[in-house]
Amino acid sequence: MAEISFDDFMKVDIRVGEIVHAEAYPEARKPAYKLRVNFGDEIGEKRSSAQITVHYTPEELIGRRVMGVVNFPPRQIGKFMSEVLVLGFMDTDDAVVLAVPDKDAPIGARLC
């Protein structure tokens, strides 16, 4: 495992966002959803492609708070431009489980 400095860690801007739109992304190579996530007034709404189809439906994602890296450059995922990396963990079956705050952190709050 490569070590990083605290200063390196602080360069990663991880914020709390709320999913405001989710839909299937059938053109993706692996099953995925297209998401729009609201990160508050400072950052606004960002798009993301997320491979979270095993544990979540688009309908149950709406209104869910998630954590995302908001300062990566946009990345082309097929025909879709992903602007933020929604964070999660692999479960024992290699399916993604979302990383979420366990209390009501405000939208746009930064991980510290």
Cα-flanking dihedrals φ and ψ of residue 15, to 5°?
-125, 160
**What beta strand segments (E) does 1-112 contain?**
14-24, 33-38, 45-50, 65-69, 75-77, 80-82, 85-86, 88-90, 96-98
Q: What is the pLDDT along the chain (112 residues), one digit of tens a residue?
A: 899 999 999 999 999 999 999 999 999 999 999 999 999 999 999 999 999 999 999 999 999 999 999 999 999 998 999 999 999 999 999 999 999 999 999 999 999 9
Predicted local confidence at residue 12, as pLDDT: 97
Is 65:102 a contact under the CB 8 Å cutoff? no
Domains, the chain, ranges and CATH?
12-98 (2.40.50.140)
Predicted local confidence at residue 61, as pLDDT: 98
What is the C-alpha separation between 20 and 9, in angstroms, rounded?
Answer: 28
What is the C-alpha separation between 10 and 6, in angstroms, rounded?
Answer: 6
